[in-house]
Structure 1
Amino acid sequence: MLSACSWSWFGLNCTPRASAVHATGSLSVAPPHDFTYVPAVNGHVSPNRIENTAMTGLVLKGDVNEAVRNGIARSLAISGFHLDTGTRVLSGSIEKFTVDDERSPTYWTLKMHYVVTDTTTRKVVFSTTKTVRQKSPKFTSNTIAIEDTVKLSVDALIGDPGFVRSVN
């Protein structure tokens, strides 16, 4: 029997992905309402919809900002960050989240603006925007594709020395 990973014509990618960087630090991740989903605020899509090229949009059970925020928290915890301590809090805005699935493979694009704030002084100590593009097979689970795309964005954030300095 052949492994599904050998079926290259389906576009499966079974290569395990390692986290880009293992870093440590202490911070809190703000609640979902502090992760603004800009396309929804602008009235372009509803809060639970990701813009999609093949249909009107992918509708999630919950809001996009909650799914992204929870994915960020999971990815940071897996990477070694302490999330329940520290005087720094991570928030941000989801400036763009789209799916291009007219053809196979599908491309998920996430543009995130991250902000780290010192809770004692209420001053921004770090700010950056990261844009990532995740390739996935056409019929991948939306949940898995969202988690993979958010993880890729968090890997880019963790790879930024300014971010690591801001939470240590």
Structure 2
Amino acid sequence: MLSACSWSWFGLNSTPRAAAHPTGWLSVAPARDFPYMPARNGEVSPNRIENTAMTGIVLKDDINETVRDGIVNRLKIAGFHLDAGKRVLSGSIEKFSVDDTRSPAFWTLKMRYVVTDATTQKVVFSTTKTVKQKSPKFTSNTIAIEDTVRLNVDALIGDPGFVKAVN
């Protein structure tokens, strides 16, 4: 039998770690600076994700708030310093949709990201990232949305131009 003391090392350093990649310093703009373009264009309401099988997926919060919060969470987990910085990340949600007419469901998120110098207000980096992912048709919408945003932010983090802009 093992004594309880021998188990004490199991709990140490058990925090999950993000994949190794460069980090940087930046601030993330408020949700209003991440406009949801399909809603702005009158195609859907601000809290609705286009869905091919139904009229849409309706969230409690607006899509721009949900996506912005997901961006912040993913950047924090990845090790970016978000409390200060001479760069500000903003952007627009060009498309957020799900095609679940068949199984699996395919989620698509197209984001335009813009990094601006806080002092000069000049754009120092701009890119568009589109991710598509499949998930079980009857999965939790919350989980599918979080996963899709995470994949999109990971595509941004993997862009050497973005890393250079925030360092």
Gaps of 5+ in 2: 1-16
Letter in 1 for 2:71: I
Conserved 8 A contact 2:96-2:108: yes
Per the alignment, in what secondary structure is the counterpart of residue 146 of structure 1? helix
Identity of paired residues, percent? 77
> What is the one-letter code of the residue matched to 1:23?
P
Corresponding residue SS for 2:106: strand
Q: 1:97 deviation in Å? A: 0.4
Residue 165 of structure 1 aligns with an amino acid whose one-letter code is K
SS of residue paired to 2:90:
strand
Pairing 1:1-168 to 2, within 5 Å after superposition: 22-168=21-167
Q: CA shift at 1:22, angstroms?
A: 2.5
Q: What TM-score comes out, normalization by structure 1 length?
A: 0.88
Q: Which has the larger radius of gyration?
A: 2
Aligned Cα RMSD in Å?
Answer: 1.2
**1:20 offset after TM fit, Å?**
6.2
> Could you tell me which residue of structure 2 aligns to residue 9 of structure 1?
none
Q: Distance in 2 between matches of 1:42 and 1:21?
A: 39
For residues 61 and 132 of structure 1, what CA distance do their matches in structure 2 show? 23
**Aligned partners of 1:115, 1:136: CA distance in 2, in Å?**
28
Shift of 1:134: 1.2
1:98 Cα deviation after fit: 0.4
Checking the alignment, whether the CA contact within 8 Å between 1:19 and 1:155 is kept in structure 2 is: no
> How far is 1:23 from its partner?
2.2
Deviations 1:67-104 (A, max 9, x none): 00000000000001000111100000000000000011
Secondary structure of the 2:142 match is helix
SS in 1 for 2:60: coil
CA distance 1:126–1:114, shift in 2 (3 Å):
same
